[in-house]
Chains A and B, each alone.
Chain A
Amino acid sequence: MIQRKLITCTINGNKIQTMVDVRASLTDMLRNDYRLTSVKKGCEVGECGACNVMIDGECFNSCIYLAVWADSKHIRTVESLLGSAGELHPIQQAFVDEGAVQCGYCTPGFIMTALEIVQSGRQYTRDELKKLLSGHLCRCTGYENIVNAVEKAMKGTAQSIPETISRHRPATR
């Protein structure tokens, strides 16, 4: 018999209540139940960062986080960065401007970590940024442009980045 549990949480600004399979990872729930496919499955053992999402303001690899643990938490994925008129968030724009995206598989994970960096309001050195980004693997770019993009977004916050959380309704099953 499948064991399920009722949880209530907020996903990208929307409060939801759902029965989750206790065996599901948060990645499974976000992708399968809410079609938040920015959350990628890479290694599924916590090493690559493709599944990275923000939980109560901190970044977690959602592949090694049980969906039932999301109860009462605020979860944020890249989908929440979309502006009301469909415009890109300054972090996303920086990734485009710096050529930091090739196949794009690693990008949503990197962007959520970049969001945590930008939201800290701190200015980091390049070496510190590399350490902060070290939980993400990218097979395409060679990282240089990604570090450039995050640095640009971070410096841009000196001129204050808008805190967009769009009321993007997650699709239900």
Chain B
Amino acid sequence: MYNMGAYYEATSVAHAISLLQRHSGPTTKIVAGGSDVLIQMREGKLAGYTLVSIQRLDELRGVYMDDDETLRILPVTSFSHITKHPLIKEYINVLGYAVDQIGSPQIRNIGTIGGNICNGVTSADSASTLLAYDAVVEITGPAGVRRLPITDFYIKAGVVALMPDEVLTAILIPKESYENTHGHYIKYAMRNAMDIATLGCSLNVRLSPDKRAVERVRVGYGVAGPVPMRAKNAEEAGNGRPASMDTVNRAAKAALLDVNPRDSWRASKALRLHLAEELCRRAFTMAITRAGGSL
């Protein structure tokens, strides 16, 4: 038995919002897949909390293409369904690959992509890729729907820009962002499964039509700071440059100006700095190769 205060099950997004308003308080929480919330309830951190469940809201599951070709990822979609989805495979394969590194097969059937970013955790395996693709989050609350770039969604470790009566209702990837890109994600962890990233790097490139130049490169990191981050210096060192090892090395070095990792029991800051450079180098090399460039 869980040490749970009360349980309310939403039957629609509007119902979820009204439940959150009615039962609002410091000990009320949304639960989607439960792979963070139920663990913390078991550990006692959320003992006695009231849960508002969006687990059974099928209207928040799936991946769709909007009329303007924006990719719309609904938050209660499980990791395994993200990885298997044809639209993800075709347009943003690296996201499916990244979430396939999470936990274990069962955790990937349980955990949702929305929960993975709403927990505000820097090691979330989906986050660096969503940042590197300029994802926009769609948030629904009593006053209606608002949109926010994902970089503004992350406020500080464990805190995101959600009001207590708001629900994340979509993650959007604009066409301009995913079109013609090839990406790669590297999760560096101590074990091959069931481990949190020591550092993660997600990178995607768009090459020029002749495949000789990097038209645009975007780099996202997890565990390189208190929240997932973009590496603008690394990107500037790569944008518009020849698709060469020299460019790759410059970008990897420049990434060190962006990251701000810390010492923790998992790894030292020194190891994380080394990884930040090396993972950027390897991910950039792989992304260029996937895009048809030669190094």
| Stretch in B1-9, B90-98, B217-225, B263-271 with 4+ CB within 8 Å of A | B1-9
Residue on B nearest A64 in the bound complex, by CB: B38
- The stretch of A18-26, A91-99, A154-162 in contact with B is A18-26
Residue A34 CB within 8 A of the other chain:
no
Whether a CB of chain B sits under 8 angstroms from the CB of A119 is no
A142 vs B42: C-alpha distance when bound (angstroms): 29
The answer to whether A28 touches B105, judged by C-beta atoms less than 8 angstroms apart, is: no
Contact A22 B7 (CB under 8 A): yes
Q: Is the CB of A23 within 8 A of B110?
A: no
The smallest C-beta distance from A45 to any residue of chain B, in angstroms, reads 5
Do A59 and B39 touch (CB < 8 A)? no
Set A24, A46, A66, A116: member contacting B107, Cβ < 8 A: A46
Which residues of A from 37 to 89 have beta carbons under 8 Å from B? 44-47, 49, 52, 58-61, 64-66, 68-69, 71
Find chain B residues with CB under 8 A from A136 CB: 104
In the complex, per-residue mask of B48-84: 1 if CB is within 8 Å of any chain A CB, else 0: 0000010110000000000000000000000010000
The answer, among A5, A28, A60, A135, for a CB contact under 8 Å with B193, is: A135
A47–B42 touching, CB < 8 Å = no
Chain B 185-220 per-residue mask, 1 if CB under 8 angstroms from chain A, else 0:
000000011100000000000000000000000000
Residue from the list A24, A52, A64, A116 in contact with B35, Cβ < 8 A: A64
Contact between B105 and A113, CB atoms less than 8 A apart: yes
Residue pair A65, B110 in contact (C-beta under 8 Å): yes
| Contact between chains at A45 and B56 (CB < 8 Å) | no
Inter-chain contacts of B80 with A (CB < 8 A): 58
CB of A17 closer than 8 Å to a CB of B = no
Given contacts A45-B39, A69-B55, A23 and B2 within 8 Å (CB-CB) = yes
Beta-carbon contacts under 8 Å, B113-147 to A: none
A131 at the interface (CB under 8 A from B): yes
Q: Given A22-B4, A65-B34, A135 and B55 touching (CB < 8 A)?
A: no
Q: A3-B6, A22-B4, A25-B2 are in contact. Are A64 and B39 (CB under 8 A)?
A: yes
Shortest Cβ distance from B33 into A: residue = A64
Chain A neighbourhood of B1, CB < 8 A? 21, 23-25, 28
B3: A residues at CB distance < 8 A: 23
The residues of B that contact A5 with a CB separation of less than 8 Å are 7, 9
Q: Are A131 and B7 in contact (CB under 8 A)?
A: no
Which interface class (under 10, 10 to 19, 20 to 34, 35 or more) fits A?
Answer: 20 to 34
Chain A contact residues: helix, strand, loop or mixed: mixed
* B294 at the A interface (CB under 8 A): no
B4–A132 touching, CB < 8 Å: no
Across the two chains, which residue of chain A brings its CB closest to B108?
A135
- Whether, in the assembled complex, A134 has its beta carbon less than 8 Å from a beta carbon of chain B, the answer is yes
Question: From residue B168, how far is it (CB to closest CB) to chain A in Å?
Answer: 19
Which of A22, A23, A135 is the one whose CB lies under 8 Å from B104? Answer: A135
By beta carbon, the residue of chain A nearest B38 is A64
A69 close to B6 (CB less than 8 A): no
- From B7, B35, B106, contact of A135 by CB (8 A): B106
Contact across chains for A134 and B192 when beta carbons are under 8 A apart: yes
Does B109 have its Cβ within 8 Å of any Cβ on chain A? yes
B residues in contact with A132, CB < 8 Å: 105
Given A23-B1, A135-B193: A59 and B105 within 8 A (CB)?
yes
Closest CB pairs A-B (n = 8): A135-B104, A134-B193, A22-B7, A135-B106, A23-B4, A58-B109, A23-B1, A64-B38
Query: Can you name 27 A-B pairs with beta carbons within 8 Å?
Result: A3-B6, A3-B7, A5-B7, A22-B6, A22-B7, A23-B2, A23-B4, A23-B7, A24-B2, A25-B1, A25-B38, A28-B1, A44-B42, A46-B103, A46-B110, A61-B110, A66-B38, A68-B7, A69-B53, A69-B56, A71-B56, A131-B105, A134-B105, A134-B194, A135-B103, A135-B106, A135-B107
By a beta-carbon cutoff of 8 Å, the part of chain A in contact with chain B is: 3, 5, 21-25, 28, 44-47, 49, 52, 58-61, 64-66, 68-69, 71, 113, 116, 131-132, 134-136
Inter-chain pairs besides A24-B2, A116-B105, A131-B193, 16 sampled, C-beta below 8 Å: A5-B9, A22-B6, A23-B4, A46-B35, A46-B107, A49-B106, A59-B105, A59-B109, A61-B110, A65-B110, A66-B53, A66-B55, A113-B105, A134-B193, A135-B104, A135-B107
